[in-house]
Structure 1
Amino acid sequence: MHPIFLGGIMNGSGNKPPWSLPAKANLGRLELQRAIRYWKVEPFSMPNFFPILTILPQRALTYIKHTYPSTQFENTFGLYWQWFLYKHRDISKPDVLRELLSSPEAGFSREQTEEILTAAMTDKRWKEALTAKTQEALDRGAFGAPFFWVVKTDDTDADVDVDGQGKVVGEEPFFGSDRFHQMWEYLGLPFEDIKLLPRAEAKL
């Protein structure tokens, strides 16, 4: 997972947010309820201040990704969604982000929280890192999120090593949260596909 600035992706690709078109917005609300039922998560709704400017939280996440263990990075990423969608807290605000990072769930000390915020707000390195990762996504063809760049490797040929995984034999982009089965198929991974059951066994 790589933090990116979604606004930069939309502007750079010439795309528009789905909620800016009434027909897409209406369908999006219906699809949200379907996804909540399918994935069996607690119902949530978009806060009344949606959308937000995500530059500060994404710079903070960029710093965390490069400075702390991956478990803390992934945990913080999850907390962003929880605070935004369930608690309806505007994590783009420094005081709210400070409260999130210093919460027991995040696991950062008060000193670490201030270190992260200072880096996100004042250090040019993390501003440039977020900009570079956003541009990389655009260069690979991203026009929104979630956008996946899937790399197929051949473990038997290590002429070109990619993080110890073997030689790259193929790379392709995938877009959307409903493309995992296509990614698994592309990688040649075994998986159970969706199938219809006899009516007597149908899921209620």
Structure 2
Amino acid sequence: MGGGKIDVYMDIVSLYSYLAFLDLQRNGDLLKAHNVEVEFHPVLLGAINVGSGNKPPWTLPAKAIYGAHDARRSIARFPGVVIQTPKDLMAVSKTIVPNRALHFIKSHHSPSAFLTALHYLMHLFWSPPNLNLTLPENVAKALLECPADFTSSSSSSSSSSSLSSTAAARSGQEGEKGKKLFTKQQVEEIMKGVETKVVKDALKNATQEALDKGAFGNPWFWVTNGEGKGEPFFGSDRFHFIYKFLGLPFQDVTLSPPAGASKL
């Protein structure tokens, strides 16, 4: 069938949203070839938990223990991407400022600039030394240092306490080294925009939209197929269901025979 749209509701504080983003970026060209549009909507996970009556998984001890195993296995699907959970995740979980900044960028800059900024902020949040993005000054500095061609594959795996030095190391091609995504004036405009009612409402409305579509966590997908039918999907490991719903060709999980053995 082909065609359709994937709306992704996500908060940078959500590890699995980051992994879903990486998966969708990895398959971006193929999705475009199948005429599938992907749109990311920054939301507040905490507000979704409250609005849906859900609780963070680590509040249940058994889930917390299992979650460590699940996270390790999920991260392993992206070789070369260095991920480290912040020491005090709850202390840095109120990502209102960066999510508002992303809404401003989304409405005032190109789609590619929005995706690059989104990627870079998630990378800084989830990679050592884990930048605290609840602080406006850190968000501003991150946007000012964001490489114009940032990708996880071009990032440095070495940790550093200096955002400036890590940003320089994370530049992509040698010819583009030092080129930034935003100018100082643009970053100032973004940070001013964070405080406007329009941007505050954009984040609030996106969060409510996710709740209205049944969200109880992140990443939350609302997928519309080529026939105009929409359904919800939850989690970073549900793409086989999403692709089937969209009518896309994909290789499902298959079990192979032992090495050297004939087919059973």
TM-score bracket, normalised by the shorter chain, equals 0.7 to 0.9
Q: Please, which of 83, 91, 103 is the counterpart of residue 145 of structure 2? A: 103
TM-score, with length taken from structure 1: 0.87
Aligned equivalent of 1:125: 198
Native 8 Å contact 2:102 2:114 kept in 1: yes
Q: Secondary structure at 1:133's aligned position in 2? A: helix
In the TM superposition, structure 1's runs of 4+ consecutive aligned residues that sit over 6 Å from their partners are: none
Q: Secondary structure at 1:151's aligned position in 2? A: strand
Native 8 Å contact 1:49 1:90 kept in 2: no
Aligned equivalent of 1:172: 231
Query: Equivalents in 1 of 2:73, 2:130: separation in Å?
Result: 21
Deviation at 1:201, TM superposition (A): 7.1
Aligned equivalent of 2:34: none
Specify whether residues 16 and 112 from structure 1 end up closer, same or farther in structure 2 by C-alpha distance, changes over 3 A only.
same
Specify whether residues 41 and 22 from structure 1 end up closer, same or farther in structure 2 by C-alpha distance, changes over 3 A only.
farther
Query: Equivalents in 2 of 1:14, 1:191: separation in Å?
Result: 35
State the Cα deviation string for residues 60-117 of structure 1 (Å, max 9, x = none). 0011111111111111111112111113110111111111000041511111111101
Identity %: 42
Q: How many residues align?
A: 187
Which consecutive residues of structure 2, in runs of 5 or more, have no partner in the other structure? 1-39, 149-180
**33-42 or 145-154, which moves further after superposition?**
33-42
Query: Equivalents in 1 of 2:116, 2:95: separation in Å?
Result: 18
Native 8 Å contact 1:148 1:175 kept in 2: yes
Query: Equivalents in 1 of 2:253, 2:117: separation in Å?
Result: 32
Which consecutive residues of structure 1, in runs of 5 or more, have no partner in the other structure? 155-167
Higher relative contact order (CA 8 A, sep 6+): 2
Query: Equivalents in 2 of 1:74, 1:182: separation in Å?
Result: 24
Amino acid at match of 2:242: M
Native 8 Å contact 1:54 1:92 kept in 2: yes
